[in-house]
Amino acid sequence: MVIGLVALVEWAGRGLLDKTDWADGTKNIIIAVLESALAISGYIFLYSNYEKRKITEFSATGFIKNSVAGFSTGLLLQSLFVLVIALGSRYWISATNPFENVINGLANALTAGFVAEIIFRGIVFRLLEEALGSMIALLCMLVLFIIAHWNVEGADFISISATSVQAGLVLSAAYMATRSLWFTIFLHFAWDFAEPSIFGAINPGTSNNGSLFSSIITGPRLLTGGPMGPQNSLQALIICLLTTVIFLWIALRKSKFVQGNLFKH
């Protein structure tokens, strides 16, 4: 349902917007907002009826707190990756660009954050966790993203490990700690927005059509991530492992671990 609704907006929405003389950035933002809204609506409609429950992971009362905290976390993590490179005198800002440069990146990150997190955390991880328990579900998510990135062109051990920890563990552990899709959505949104559209760095999952800062990054791949970007560097792997531990500790303190239905009898 979620993928179908997004595909419908891409087909019908873009077909209509392409008939206007609006700027591409404006069209992309409208499409991104529509896709995000329909993905949320479809998820809430499906699971409120199918599971006969209140969709607390999209609680309106926790929206501001969780969205701000999630966005801040994603922005902070990406900033730390770049900071390590800058402390090694390997990152320089060569120019500051107008805000219009980041509109397309903002739209891409918005769609990625909402749609990917609804699918991977709201559906895949949540249902795995309910069936198998939190720890096995985390392991499944880690293996899933290892397999998905194993044959990515230009990938190496560090980049595969970093991406798998980030997508499989950090975001899943963040969901466990908060039980809020708002938190993981905005963390993912900030993550995909900051690296290419603010810092002017490579994000392998996003096409960089412009950034707030034009940057020059040099140095060993271990530090810079090379063609895979700072999020696939050694410091990113280490910081994200520590972040996962912190989220799991919070989840444990708040008794958010799930045993799993298959092991209750």
In a domain, 80, yes or no: yes
238 vs 264: which has the higher pLDDT: 238
Residue 265 has pLDDT above 70, yes or no: no
Instruction: Fill in the amino acid letter for 5.
Output: L
In a domain, 188, yes or no: yes
In a domain, 85, yes or no: yes
Residue 203 has pLDDT above 90, yes or no: no
Provide the pLDDT for residue 261: 85
pLDDT tens-digit map of 153-165: 888 999 999 999 9
pLDDT, mean of residues 162-179 = 97
Residue 89 has pLDDT above 90, yes or no: no
pLDDT, mean of residues 218-225 = 94
In a domain, 79, yes or no: yes
In a domain, 211, yes or no: yes
131 vs 152: which has the higher pLDDT: 131
Q: Which residues share a beta bridge with 96?
A: 213
Provide the pLDDT for residue 209: 66
Task: Report residue 233: phi and psi, to 5°.
Answer: -95, 170
Provide the pLDDT for residue 153: 86
pLDDT, mean of residues 29-36 = 96
In a domain, 23, yes or no: no
Q: Give the confidence band of 202 by pLDDT, cuts at 50, 70, 90.
A: confident
Q: Are 230 and 195 in contact (CB under 8 A)?
A: yes
In a domain, 52, yes or no: no
Residue % of the chain over a pLDDT of 90: 86
DSSP 225: -
Q: How far apart are CA 130 and CA 137, in angstroms?
A: 9
Residue 146 has pLDDT above 60, yes or no: yes
pLDDT, mean of residues 7-35 = 93
Provide the pLDDT for residue 158: 96
DSSP 168: I
Instruction: Fill in the amino acid letter for 116.
Output: A
Domain count across the chain: 1
In a domain, 144, yes or no: yes
96 vs 265: which has the higher pLDDT: 96
Instruction: Tell me which residue has tokens 């444990």.
Output: 252
Mean pLDDT of the chain: 93
Q: Give the confidence band of 207 by pLDDT, cuts at 50, 70, 90.
A: low
Q: How far apart are CA 81 and CA 184, in angstroms?
A: 19
DSSP 22: -
Residue 214 structural domain = 60-263
pLDDT, mean of residues 64-80 = 97
Provide the pLDDT for residue 58: 97
pTM: 0.94
DSSP 120: I
The radius of gyration computed from the CA coordinates of the chain, to the nearest angstrom, equals 19
Residue 208 has pLDDT above 80, yes or no: no
Q: Are 3 and 119 in contact (CB under 8 A)?
A: yes
